[in-house]
Amino acid sequence: MNKKGAKMEEEDTDFDADSNIGVGFTAKEGLSKEDIIMEAWRDCRQKRSQEMRRGYYNTKFDARGRALKVWIPDTREQYISAVKSFHLILSGDFDEDYKKARKEIYEQEEKAFKKYSWKVFKLLKVPDKDYPNSFKYKKEYTGQIVMPEPEESNLWDIDINGKRVNVDWKNNCHQYIQSLVLIYDELFAEIIKLLKRLKYFKSKVRFG
């Protein structure tokens, strides 16, 4: 499996991109599972075709000219959520090949989390033996590991002198989400392969 993220190759997507008609589906039957699957596939494709950019605050002005901070969502997180949703829709149809690939992909995700996450510490004030009537900090690991929100990732830590310092974790959050995009590219590709094996769609129009 490609550890740098799977590419959507032509042979993995050989069903009609614009058809919403699945096997055995007719207009009289209303919304079918095949129809839902195609809509989920379209949603993932559309979100992946956008620029993969991080979220940010934008300033807008209301009718009275007052400046308002507006959060612009991270398109990478939207894409990842769409693939997760697609995965859940197909949860009753997983075959052994997909389960094996999914396990490997989840292992990649766990490694990425451990690489970029923040270990949560308690910051404790203790007397400074070298300076009377003064104190310094020490930290005590709580056992908890988290990924801070990118827009609120200024964290407190202590330096080698026991002084409290601010750590900007935004770049770690950015790199984590970047790695997830490639990981979920692989999951998306495996979903398409699963649909192909299950023969969900009868149309065989190829596209690049």
Residue-wise pLDDT tens digits, 67-117: 888 888 899 999 999 999 999 999 999 999 999 999 999 999 999 999 999
Q: Output the pLDDT for position 88.
A: 95
Residue-wise pLDDT tens digits, 177-205: 999 999 999 999 999 999 999 887 665 44
Q: Output the pLDDT for position 168.
A: 87
Structure-block tokens of residue 154? 């200024």
- Those residues whose C-beta lies under 8 Å from the C-beta of residue 207, and which sit 6 or more positions away, are 10, 13, 17
Q: Could you tell me the CA-to-CA distances from 134 to 121, 140, 158 in Å, in that order?
A: 22, 20, 16
The whole-chain average pLDDT of the chain stands at 81
- Those residues whose C-beta lies under 8 Å from the C-beta of residue 25, and which sit 6 or more positions away, are 32, 34, 35
User: pTM above 0.85?
Assistant: no
The Cα 135–Cα 140 span in angstroms is 16
Does residue 10 register a pLDDT over 80? Answer: no
Does residue 2 register a pLDDT over 50? Answer: no
